[in-house]
Amino acid sequence: MSTVKSTQMDLLRFATAGSVDDGKSTLIGRLLLDSKSIFADQLEAVESTSKSKGYDYTDLALLTDGLRSEREQGITIDVAYRYFATPNRKFIIADTPGHVQYTRNMVTGASTADLGLVLVDARQGLTEQSRRHAVILSLLRVPHLVLAVNKMDLVDYSQEVYDKIHNEFTQFATKLNIPDLEVIPISALAGDNVVNRSENMSWYSGPTLMHHLENVHVASDRDLIDARFPVQYVVRPKSDEFHDYRGYAGMVAGGVLKPGDEVVVLPSGMTSKISKIDLFDKEVTEAFPPMSVTVHLEDDVDVSRGDMIARVKNAPQPSQDIDAMICWMTTTPLKPRQKLAIKHTTRTARALVKDIQYRLDVNTLHRDQETKELGVNEIGRVQLRTTVPLLCDPYSQNRTTGSFILIDEATGVTVGAGMINQAN
């Protein structure tokens, strides 16, 4: 057996959406099983639980439904993270529930995903739910989408059924931002086109699901042009050996930083040059997303947490007026004039809701301009005014400098997720 070296593998984070009925848990169970990521004791536990519930098959969904209440109700409530690896790639699955009342969980899972996997039941075709999943993945700018047409075994592996769903979905997807789409006919239960190529669908010449997951090109998804470095923490050792050391620690959010680069520190607007970049006890010649490094500047300028280092001629616009799509995540609705805490990169401020422009119907893409509030799991376009300028980019350009969360100041709970359209 060849040893998988995780020191060389790359990483794909993907989010799955769908309900138990679509066979999502069975599919994840199969990916884990066929990539040998399930251990014997986990499988045994699932087998014995299935037996004690009187099932005549092993319910692979029991592998992913981790909380007692979920097992009792037989549904996935929360985002669960799963891990598996093949020789070249490690995968992190954000397994999210599909029902409309859990839209916020799906938004959460999609926020960090490189790829979204939407399941449809071949017998049902596209449903309101599968359209909604595609809309959310598109809103969250997940760059790759796979539509897995599942349960092909129950429609006699019919090409006609597949083509119909494929065409219908492609048409729908033209209204969305989906740069890369793959439609794969599978049977999670029988294993067709999941890991092994199906012998029942010779008419299909595309990749198996696993082959696609292993090979989809994600390296170009990052923004390597627009340098963005939100300062997270100032490293000052105050020791004899490192008496004058003053470094700005953070994670590169965009572009490539190099020693010698002329940079601007926002919001002060002071300029300097990068003198060196530290990665632990070594200096590096370049830093790019998502590296966590420590940047040093030639001049002794005032830099602190919440500031951003960018290029002199390519910097985000500091702004207190934010236009964003917001997914609302709590039962008390969002209303105009409401005040909230906002966290954007490493900067925290307060925000006032100036206007709710429209509520987006995620099933039909209809913009409802009548309703002036957002209920739980609803998504809408909102205007905010912040107490201090945020250093932001459009979410379509950078998912890190274009996103924020809203926090209820009384309860401390995260109540909203925002994607910036533009800063004025």
DSSP-based three-state secondary structure for 406: strand
CA distance 401 to 343: 11
Of 131-139, 156-164, 205-213, 397-405, the segment contacting other proteins by CB under 8 A is 397-405
DSSP 339-375: EEEEEETTEEEEEEEEEEEEEE-TTT--EE-S--SB-
Site for other proteins in 194-213 (CB under 8 A): none
Of 53-61, 244-252, 315-323, 364-372, the segment contacting other proteins by CB under 8 A is 244-252
Q: Are 145 and 116 in contact (CB under 8 A)?
A: yes
Of 74-82, 354-362, 367-375, 380-388, the segment contacting other proteins by CB under 8 A is 74-82
Residue from 127, 288, 333, 373 that binds other proteins (CB under 8 A)? Answer: 288
Q: Which residues in 266-298 are b (16+ Cβ under 10 Å) and which e?
A: bbeeeebebeebbeeeeebeebbbeeebbbbbe
DSSP-based three-state secondary structure for 386: strand
CA distance 49 to 45: 6
Residue among 121 and 223 whose Cβ is closer to other proteins: 223
Spatial neighbors of 369 by CB under 8 A, at least 6 apart, are 357, 358
What is the per-residue binding string for other proteins in 339-378, x denoting contact by CB under 8 A? --x-xx-x--------------------------------
Site for other proteins in 299-328 (CB under 8 A): 305
Residue from 75, 154, 256, 376 that binds other proteins (CB under 8 A)? Answer: 256
CA distance 138 to 145: 9
Residue among 110 and 165 whose Cβ is closer to other proteins: 110
Residue among 107 and 210 whose Cβ is closer to other proteins: 107
Q: Are 150 and 187 in contact (CB under 8 A)?
A: yes
CA distance 29 to 45: 14
By CB under 8 A, residue 92 contacts other proteins: yes
Give the helix/strand (H/E) hosting 139: helix 128-139
Q: Binding-site residue total for other proteins (CB under 8 A)?
A: 87
Residue from 240, 280, 300, 370 that binds other proteins (CB under 8 A)? Answer: 280
What is the per-residue binding string for other proteins in 95-134, x denoting contact by CB under 8 A? ---------xx-xx--xx----------------------
By CB under 8 A, residue 41 contacts other proteins: yes
Residue among 224 and 312 whose Cβ is closer to other proteins: 224
Q: Are 288 and 279 in contact (CB under 8 A)?
A: no
Residue among 292 and 364 whose Cβ is closer to other proteins: 292
By CB under 8 A, residue 287 contacts other proteins: yes
Can you say whether the dihedral through the CA atoms of 160, 162, 164, 170 is positive or negative? negative
Residue from 16, 19, 26, 64 that binds other proteins (CB under 8 A)? Answer: 64
By CB under 8 A, residue 225 contacts other proteins: no
